[in-house]
Amino acid sequence: MNWLIAILQTALFVALAPFLAGFMKFCKCRLQNRRAPSLLQPYRDLLKLTRKQPVISEDASWLFCTTPYIVFTAMVLAASVVPFIAVDLPTSAEADVIVLVGFFAFARFFLALAGLDIGTAFGGMGSSREMTISSLAEPAMLMAVFTLTMTASTTNLSGAIEHVLNEGVVLRPSFVFALFALMLVAVAETGRIPVDNPTTHLELTMIHEAMILEYSGRHLALIEWASQLKFMLYGVLISNIFFPWGIAESFGLSALGYGLLVIAGKLILLCVVLAIAETAVAKMRLFRVQEYLGFAYLLGLLGMLSHIILESTR
């Protein structure tokens, strides 16, 4: 029964990811006084791409063809680990937050390889940039995550969320820092403004897009979907770790339904905030990214410090 719910939840997660991306686009369009495409547009795009035959470069090896599947699988697995509607699922007992970070790293590793594989200039450039950013973002993310796990004294996501839930409303300075740090990292990792711009194909600025420039057809669809999943994963992580209230703690129908509503509300709020931020901020130069991520790391560090200094037992 529990496994069934876990699988259903994962399926829902995967299915809703493009919708969230569509909603994000919608918010941005409205803020910029443009007419927004339909909320279902990402689904249509994915559908269109899957129908098309992929064009594969003559120089591509098997790595290039398998990467989309690997990346997508990794993201789906990651989605199954993160408590979405209900907490305390069997899947999340299997893997903890470090495995989650591992999934992200795994997917990124293969994407970068694939970018290099075909031997075009853009692919190599994109891969190198992506790796630069992630090498800086990952420590920051781990720092923020460690702050959380130190508080909950577990690295298990479900356990941590339950810990936060059980304590009721506690204002934790360390969480404030960790939240900011994680948000900054999320922006960098999902390739959004101000680090990367997902809608541009300008060669000087693109990072993620450069890596996947050679993909087409169903391969591209999978990769797009995977990145939408990643975006949603970060959103769910942030909202459920720091504001877990409303998440279903039992598996009754009403609790699950309520949980779904609440998480939808949280994600919508987060999207609106992000859209406003993206509209207000200009993309920064690539060389400024390290400062930005350095700042995220600093925040993570401060979170850790204030956990030890301000909150711990003595």
Partner 1 sequence: MNIESQDFYTQAILSMSALVGLTSFLMLGQGRLLRLIFVFAVQGLLLTLTTSMVAFSLDNPHLYISAVLTFALKVVFIPWMLQKQVLAMNMHRDVEALKNNTAVMLGGASLMVFSYYVLQPIIHTSSMIMLNALAVSLSVVLLGLLLMISHRQAVAHVVGFMSIENGLFFAAIVATNGMPMVVELGVAFDVLVAAVLFGIFFLHIRTSIDSLDVDMMNKLNEVDR
Q: Does 33 bind partner 1 (CB under 8 A)?
A: no
Q: Residue 158 CB, nearest distance to partner 1 (Å)? A: 19
Q: Please state, in angstroms and rounded to a whole number, the distance separating the CA atoms of residues 111 and 117.
A: 10
Q: Residue 174 CB, nearest distance to partner 1 (Å)? A: 8
Nearer Cβ to partner 1 (173/217): 173
Q: Please state, in angstroms and rounded to a whole number, the distance separating the CA atoms of residues 311 and 122.
A: 48
Q: Please state, in angstroms and rounded to a whole number, the distance separating the CA atoms of residues 77 and 103.
A: 8
The interface with partner 1 within residues 168-197 (CB under 8 A) comprises 169-174, 176-177, 180
In 3D, which of 127, 67, 284, 118 has the Cα closest to residue 197? Answer: 284
Return the ∠ at Cα 174 (arms to 173 and 175), rounded to 5°.
90
Q: For residue 295, how many other CB atoms are within 10 A of its CB?
A: 14
Q: How many residues bind partner 1 (CB under 8 A)?
A: 25
Is 240 in contact with 83 (CB distance < 8 Å)? yes
Q: Does 306 bind partner 1 (CB under 8 A)?
A: yes
Q: Residue 175 CB, nearest distance to partner 1 (Å)? A: 9
Q: Does 254 bind partner 1 (CB under 8 A)?
A: no
Half-sphere exposure of 127 (CA within 13 A, CB side): 18
Q: Please state, in angstroms and rounded to a whole number, the distance separating the CA atoms of residues 183 and 234.
A: 8
Nearer Cβ to partner 1 (35/314): 314
Q: Residue 137 CB, nearest distance to partner 1 (Å)? A: 15
Candidates 8, 11, 55, 167: give the one binding partner 1 (CB under 8 A): 167
Bridge partner residues of 86 (DSSP): 248
Q: Does 313 bind partner 1 (CB under 8 A)?
A: yes
Candidates 261, 269, 281, 309: give the one binding partner 1 (CB under 8 A): 309
Q: Does 119 bind partner 1 (CB under 8 A)?
A: no
In 3D, which of 248, 228, 224 has the Cα closest to residue 78? Answer: 228
Q: Does 32 bind partner 1 (CB under 8 A)?
A: no
Q: Residue 294 CB, nearest distance to partner 1 (Å)? A: 5
Is 262 in contact with 92 (CB distance < 8 Å)? no
Q: Please state, in angstroms and rounded to a whole number, the distance separating the CA atoms of residues 92 and 83.
A: 7
Instruction: Work out the burial of residue 252: count CB atoms within 10 Å of its CB; fewer than 13 is exposed, 13-18 middle, 19 or more buried.
Output: exposed
In 3D, which of 264, 259, 234 has the Cα closest to residue 245? Answer: 259
DSSP 8-state class, residue 212: T
Biggest CA pair distance of the chain: 64
Nearer Cβ to partner 1 (109/243): 243
Q: Residue 302 CB, nearest distance to partner 1 (Å)? A: 7
User: Which range in 56-64, 122-130, 164-172, 197-205 contacts partner 1 by CB under 8 A?
Assistant: 164-172
- Interface characters, 264-283, with partner 1 (x: CB under 8 A): --------------------
User: Which range in 186-194, 203-211, 247-255, 295-303 contacts partner 1 by CB under 8 A?
Assistant: 295-303
Q: Does 1 bind partner 1 (CB under 8 A)?
A: no
Q: Residue 303 CB, nearest distance to partner 1 (Å)? A: 9
Q: Residue 201 CB, nearest distance to partner 1 (Å)? A: 28
Tell me if residue 57 falls in helix, strand or coil.
Answer: coil
Q: Residue 287 CB, nearest distance to partner 1 (Å)? A: 12
Backbone angles phi, psi at 253, to 5 degrees: -65, -45
Residues that bind partner 1 (CB under 8 A): 167, 169-174, 176-177, 180, 291, 294-295, 298-299, 301-302, 305-306, 309-314
